[in-house]
Structure formats: structure tokens, C-alpha cells
Copies of this chain bind each other. A is one copy, B any other.
Amino acid sequence: MIDFPGIENLTRKTSSKILMVVIDGLGGYFDNTTNKSELEDAVTPNLDKLANESACGLSIPVEHGITPGSGPGHLALFGYDPIKYQVGRGVLEALGLGLELNANQIAIRGNFAISGSDGVITDRRANRITSKVSSSLVKKLTDISVTDFKTDVQLIRDHRFLLVLTGENKVPNYYPFVSDTDPGLNGLKSLTSEPTYPETTIIANAINSFVSQSRDLLKDNHHANMILLRGISKVPSFPSMQKTYKLDPIGIAAYPMYLGLAKLTGMEIARENTNFPAELKSLKSVIKIDKHDFFFLHYKPADAAGEDGDRKAKVKALEEFDKFIPDIIDIGADVLVIAGDHSTPADLAAHSWHSVPFLINTNFTKGDGEGSFSEKAFRSGSIGLIKAKSIMMLALAHAGKLKKFGS
């Protein structure tokens, strides 16, 4: 997975334990008046102290200028080249619902939408209808049946739904299988799904048949009279962290999508933690079990506040996280990584491409973060500016889990 040929011959099983805490949307950007980032504004004495005892650096989530979604942002931190290991939108939505897809299944993201009598789409999101309205529309869609596949429709939220096609046999892994019916813009017509390979014609036929039947079922509905389908994908088969790193990893997160992403890498997952304190409690009990040696812990509030464009809330979310640091240190992992999947500057109210501070702490590391956990201070950290996918290699190295390369 990491683009180091023969990495699986370098990794070795040891008793040391790695804890990777991912602060979603960790990085930010400078405020117009103060010229300080959210992290610099936040009062984070525990993180600052930790920076003084850690190897520090900045990570580029995917590539310069590229703004990642949650999928590539996390996979990179797990050491997977996010350009090589991609997950389709349908699968990500399924993971977000906590579903487990098997090799016979294809997941598809659907939108309820509105088109005029000429078929031209006027609103790809059907005025963002409420879940209450759309749940009745979802019910209509459950009546549809298509050749070669069993269909299952579930509400995601508002105008969004998930369609799962289940075949009798394993679906061969072509990517992408077929083209989207969603043209991506208002003012255009819905598209016919085209097979990308001759073998995927039956999938395109099923999709097109589903869309055609849905049109009849919805044609007189004033909330939404059509559907748009995209991200037609199956659960990908990634090399496992077990095989590649010789780790026994476990993922702990409050939101199903992050657990789903963890699962794609071969992680066991701990469900039923609705917030970070619960996650931490779960970690405390699970770390005592000898079996596991890699722990992924997910902290969501910083990203949520950043996406809302709420600078104060983002600063607060970072300060709240800081208070958990003594507890996190107490857990006693041999290697503690604190990193982010991407930046979410409050001033942009969105994910961004900016580099993200991270640290690696062990008994051996010394401080090079200039006493401040921030983008600016970590520029001069000892690790420098690296691709996020390399953080995992450094974690393994610090854990003594990488043998010498060559003689």
C-alpha cells in the first residue's frame, strides 16, 4: 500500500502499541485581523507541552492543491496512497449508514430531484426536502424490481438515499462499473448509465431500468419527480494492515463512516460510542487486551465547526480536545500520533488543501514543535513537510516495527 516496494518484508510484529488520534479537519488558516490560525488562537496547554516532547511536522493530505474528502484524508493517514486506493461515493454512503457490503453488492448514492416537462433538471436536490417527506418517496422506490439484482433502498437524510443492488454471485471488480445518471448540474437532463466494460452491461441495464420505473412512480409527485444516481461502486478490496504492517488494528469512532473506512483497511471496529469521551472509555478497556497493537481514535467536532464556518466553535472544539490529552497520555501507548485528515479553515467553511500539523510522541522523542501545537510552529519541526501517507511509516519506525532496509 505505502509505495515502498516490499514493505511487508520490512515490517515485524512487536509488543509495542501505536495510538493514532485523528482530529478531523485539524488544520486551519490565518484570521484576517489577528493573523493567527484557529490552532494558534486556541488555548491548548497540553498539546503545546506535548509538542515540546514530540517529533513534529506538517502533512500534505493527498497532493499540493488537492482538497480531500474524508475517504482519502483517512486512508492516507492509515498509510494507503489515496490516489491509488479510492472508494466510490456509494460505498462511502453505505459505510456512513453502518452497512456492511459484501462482494455481491453494489452501492449507489441517490438524490431525489425535480425536472420540468422537457426532462431538464431544475433542482438536483428537490429543494432539500425533509427526511419525513423523502421517507415516503423511499417507500415507493422499494416496489421496484430489476433483472439480475435484488434492490434495497434506504433513506440517508433529506433528499439523499442509498440504493444497493445485490447480485446472485460476486460482482467482478471493474472501476468505475458504469457511468452516473446524475449530470452534476441543474439545467441538464438525466443521463443514461453506460457500461464502462462489456461485463458491466447488466449493471447499466439494472440502473437504467430502476431509473425508468422510478420516473413512473414519481411522475405526479410535487416534492420530487425524478431520481439521480451516482458513485455506483462496490466495496474495494484493499491490502490489509494485518498483512502489510503485521498489526492487529482496531478503530474507534462515533460516526459510522469513519468506522467503515477503518474496516476497509482490515481494522476491527468498536461501535456504540456516541461521542469522544465514550470513545476514550472504549479505548481504555480495549488497550488492556494484548491482542491489539494499533488504535485509531477519531475526534469529529473540529471539522464540524470548521465546515459551519464557525471560527469560535472550531477554536473551542480544539480547546476541548486539549483537555483530553492527559487522559490520552495516561493510556500509555508506546507511540502516540496526533494528526488530522485535512484542514477545515473556518474562513472557508469547507475542507481545504492546506497542510496539517502532526506529532509523534514516544519516550525517545524530543521536542521540536517550539512549544506550540500549530501550523506555523510545526513548519520548523524535525520531520518537515511530508505526504500524509508517510506518517504511518514514521509511526511504525518509532514503534520499532520496521526492520533495517538492506545491509
Contact = CB atoms under 8 A, between A and B. Distances in A.
A4 B69 contact: no
A68 B405 contact: yes
A366 interface: yes
A251 interface: no
A220 to B, nearest CB: 33
Residue in A93, A231, A396, A397 whose Cβ sees the most chain B Cβ within 10 Å: A397
Interface residues of A, number: 62
Contact of A351 (B64, B348, B404): B404
Contacts of A58: 384
A384 B378 CA distance: 11
- Main secondary structure on A side of the interface with B: loop
Contacts of A393: 63-66
Interface stretch (A84-92, A199-207, A274-282): A84-92
Given A35-B367, A83-B5, A386 B30 contact: no
Residue in A348, A368, A375 whose Cβ sees the most chain B Cβ within 10 Å: A368
Contacts of A4: 63, 66, 83
B72 A29 contact: no
A179 interface: no
A348 B362 CA distance: 13
A407 B92 contact: yes
Interface in A346-377: 347-348, 350-355, 364, 366-368, 375-376
Nearest to A92: B407
Given A68-B406, A390-B64, A384 B384 contact: yes
Contact of A65 (B351, B352, B402): B402
A62 interface: yes
Interface string A91-104: 01100000000000
Contacts of A368: 376
Contacts of A29: 364, 366
Given A5-B83, A64-B390, A384-B379, A405 B366 contact: no
Interface in A94-150: none
Given A351-B404, A380-B379, A65 B397 contact: yes
A240 interface: no
16 contacts: A4-B63, A29-B366, A30-B366, A63-B393, A64-B397, A65-B396, A67-B397, A69-B406, A71-B406, A87-B407, A348-B364, A352-B397, A355-B382, A355-B384, A368-B376, A375-B382
Interface of A: 4-5, 10, 29-30, 32, 35, 58, 62-73, 82-83, 86-87, 89, 92-93, 231, 347-348, 350-355, 364, 366-368, 375-376, 379-380, 382-386, 390, 392-397, 402-407
